[in-house]
Chain A
Amino acid sequence: DQQVKQNSPSLSVQEGRISILNCDYTNSMFDYFLWYKKYPAEGPTFLISISSIKDKNEDGRFTVFLNKSAKHLSLHIVPSQPGDSAVYFCAAIHNAGNMLTFGGGTRLMVKP
């Protein structure tokens, strides 16, 4: 049973608009959440994270929102750029451990 789910396998957005990537989780013990970005033929690279004690974390064009009651988090990219086209993975950790549980990924395509 998948504890971290990304229900949209793909998303297409126009350049300059907002991209919203969603992630749901089932394990209430998760207390730290991360987003990774993956280009073809490369390993995932860390993008942004959020602790369960926060509901928002912002880094430049990237903002992650956490709704603990709904067990839902989202990544907002604004404005979207063609270079943002990649697969985005949501991941979660519990009890400050170091075993990431990943979602299935969402492929973002930003059209010029």
Chain B
Amino acid sequence: ETGVTQTPRHLVMGMTNKKSLKCEQHLGHNAMYWYKQSAKKPLELMFVYSLEERVENNSVPSRFSPECPNSSHLFLHLHTLQPEDSALYLCASSQDSQGHAFFGQGTRLTVV
């Protein structure tokens, strides 16, 4: 048990669907992240929330929309995705200045 829980573990969605990924951490951390892992690519940082404030990543398409209602929960809302968005989406949390992040098990997303 990592302390960071992601649901669902697997998701298949059509390009016109709207879905949300959920992440929950019980570690008392004040920073949360969304990462994307595509095949043969480095882990890509998508969004960071620190003290519930969002740090924008301009390279992420607007069809991905994060939400952080409180320090323990993080969502990634998905809308009109493309097949190339199929990947493993990982949530992580950390405590400021401690460096290492704790990851959830990820959501394997397939866009059809």
Contact = CB atoms under 8 A, between A and B. Distances in A.
Interface of A: 2, 4, 9, 32, 34, 36, 41-46, 49, 89, 91, 93, 96-105
Q: Most chain-A CB neighbours within 10 Å: which of B6, B35, B50, B100?
A: B100
Interface string B93-112: 01011111111111000000
B58 interface: no
B99 A4 contact: no
Interface residues of B, number: 28
B42 A100 contact: no
Nearest to B9: A41
B45 interface: yes
A4 to B, nearest CB: 7
Interface in B31-77: 31, 33, 35, 40-43, 45, 48, 50, 55
Contacts of A93: 99
Given A42-B105, A104-B42, A98 B4 contact: no
B41 A104 contact: yes
A38 to B, nearest CB: 8
Contact of A46 (B40, B43, B100): B100
Interface of B: 2, 4, 6, 31, 33, 35, 40-43, 45, 48, 50, 55, 90, 92, 94, 96-106
Nearest to B93: A98
Given A98-B31, A98-B48, A98-B97, A43 B42 contact: no
A6 to B, nearest CB: 8
Contacts of A44: 43, 90, 103
Contact of B105 (A41, A96, A103, A105): A41
B105 A43 contact: yes
Contacts of B90: 43-44
